[in-house]
């Protein structure tokens, strides 16, 4: 019998994502000036207020207020009527030094013996149902909001958009787990005040989403996905009605509160640890990237059509507790899932420092991850400029989303005789 699966995404202007981006901007700036920094930064945003807290061990000093304001302005919160804007909001910092009790389990004389920054389990997932090996419902949800943000910045075809928005896509699958149609699309977008006629306002927004946004999204999709769009899709556009009050004024935002949006939209599994605001010694972040890297290379190599990888750690311990593999019955090799896990362990070194080195995680590469998902993104090199309070400026070429590279496909094929 066919079944339905739904995933959601939220925009860069969603209050939780505002908090994530501020936290990751702090991580990037610390790493830019001291690549060995240890960072665990949390951000809370609400009406006219930003609160920064957390623990840091670093040889650099940052103007955290300016960094937070720059992020907020870049997102698009630049007007006083939003009741939250980068130039006028208050920024309070309560960042202090990292606990020595935690640090003693991480730092070692030999970097290769660096212990995990915390205990826990992390998951990576990949599937063949999209070109970027991501679950389709989440991938479409992200793409809808990326395009909506482009329309907002262009301020041409649609001129009333504000930064806060959400999307959701429901896919109907066949018995064989193949997506064959899109059932529902939900888009909720913050907007300027249209005046007293709410019905006309809602009709205009719905018409623009269906007639302008969706066709623009379609132009960027492969033909195999375009065929899933049809006239029977039910569109729920701003289903609660008026959405003028939004962003941190409408809802308090916190770092790490959108972990399913950040990963696989509910497909596979999640260990529960957030990513943003953490340096790569925290395996919540680095091992989640490493398991995605493994899963994607396994699927691309043809080991299976769908793969879930789990790795687990104890704080301060170098070697992981274990690696688990689930191919959901889609394996294309003779080995069992347990045997696949043993082979994976021989190919990929999952010690924390080895992960940092393999994926180049000591770069200031994290602000870009903090909206529209950490997985399924494009691996590319960009030039980034960082300025410190003492006038020091660093211009760095930074490789983004290294865990999305298919650089282990041949090693995987050799190991499995493919």
Of the candidates 187, 173, 161, the residue with the CA atom closest to the CA atom of residue 82: 161
CA torsion sign, 378 to 379 to 380 to 386?
positive
Q: Does 79 count as an annotated binding residue?
A: no
End-to-end CA distance of the chain: give it in Å, rounded: 33
Q: Does 166 count as an annotated binding residue?
A: yes
Q: Does 42 count as an annotated binding residue?
A: yes
Give CA–CA dist 248/194, Å, rounded. 21
Name the strand (E) or helix (H) holding 393: strand 393-400
Give CA–CA dist 194/200, Å, rounded. 9
Q: Does 164 count as an annotated binding residue?
A: yes
Structure tokens at 18: 């505002």
Q: Does 14 count as an annotated binding residue?
A: yes
- What is the maximum alpha-carbon separation in the chain? 68
Q: Is 317 exposed, middle or buried (0-12, 13-18, 19+ CB in 10 A)?
A: middle
Q: Does 98 count as an annotated binding residue?
A: yes
Structure tokens at 285: 């972040």
Q: Does 257 count as an annotated binding residue?
A: yes
Q: Does 243 count as an annotated binding residue?
A: yes
HEC assignment per residue over 108-165: CCCHHHCCECCCEEEEEEEECCCCCCCCHHHHHHHHHHHHHHHHHHHCCCCCCEEEEE
Give CA–CA dist 148/14, Å, rounded. 13
Question: 234 with 184: CB under 8 angstroms?
Answer: yes
Instruction: Indicate the annotated binding residues for L-methionine.
Output: 55, 98, 251, 282
Instruction: Indicate the annotated binding residues for Mg(2+).
Output: 16
Instruction: Indicate the annotated binding residues for K(+).
Output: 42
Instruction: Indicate the annotated binding residues.
Output: 14, 16, 42, 55, 98, 164-166, 242-243, 251, 257-258, 274, 278, 282
């Amino acid at each position: 019998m066919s079944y339905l699966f739904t995933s959601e995404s939220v925009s860069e202007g969603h209050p939780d994502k505002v908090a994530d981006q501020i936290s990751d901007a702090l991580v990037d700036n610390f790493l830019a000036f001291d690549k060995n920094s240890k960072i665990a930064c949390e951000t809370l945003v609400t009406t006219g207020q930003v609160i920064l807290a957390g623990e840091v061990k670093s040889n650099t000093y940052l103007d955290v207020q300016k960094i937070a304001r720059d992020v907020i302005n870049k997102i698009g919160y630049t007007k006083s009527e939003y009741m939250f804007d980068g130039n006028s909001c208050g920024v309070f910092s309560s960042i202090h030094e990292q606990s020595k009790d935690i640090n003693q389990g991480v730092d070692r004389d030999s970097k290769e013996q660096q212990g995990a920054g915390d205990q826990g389990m992390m998951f990576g997932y990949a599937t063949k149902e999209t070109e970027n090996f991501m679950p389709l419902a989440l991938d479409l949800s992200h793409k809808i909001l990326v395009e909506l943000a482009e329309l907002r910045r262009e301020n041409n075809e649609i001129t009333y958009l504000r930064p806060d928005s959400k999307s959701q896509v429901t896919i109907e699958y066949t018995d064989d787990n193949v997506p064959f149609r899109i059932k529902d699309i939900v888009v909720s977008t913050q907007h300027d005040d249209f005046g007293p006629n709410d019905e006309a306002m809602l009709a205009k927004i719905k018409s623009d989403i269906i007639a302008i946004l969706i066709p623009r999204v379609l132009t960027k999709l492969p033909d195999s996905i375009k065929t899933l769009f049809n006239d029977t899709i039910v569109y729920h556009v701003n289903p609660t009605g008026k959405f003028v009050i939004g962003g941190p004024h409408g809802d308090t935002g916190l770092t790490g509160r959108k972990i399913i949006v950040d990963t696989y939209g509910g497909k596979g599994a999640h260990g529960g640890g957030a990513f943003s605001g953490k340096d790569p010694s925290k395996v919540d972040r680095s091992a989640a990237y490493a398991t995605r890297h493994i899963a994607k290379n396994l699927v691309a190599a043809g080991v299976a059509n769908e793969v879930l990888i789990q790795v687990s750690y104890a704080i301060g311990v170098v070697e992981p507790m274990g690696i688990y593999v689930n191919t959901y019955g889609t394996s294309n090799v003779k080995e069992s899932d347990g045997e696949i896990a043993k082979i994976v362990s021989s190919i990929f070194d999952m010690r924390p420092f080895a992960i940092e080195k393999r994926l180049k995680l000591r770069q200031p590469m994290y602000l870009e991850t903090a909206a529209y998902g950490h997985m399924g993104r494009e691996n590319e090199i960009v030039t980034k400029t960082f300025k410190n309070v003492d006038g020091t400026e660093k211009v760095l070429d930074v490789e983004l989303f290294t865990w999305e590279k298919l650089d282990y496909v041949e090693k995987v094929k050799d190991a499995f005789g493919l």
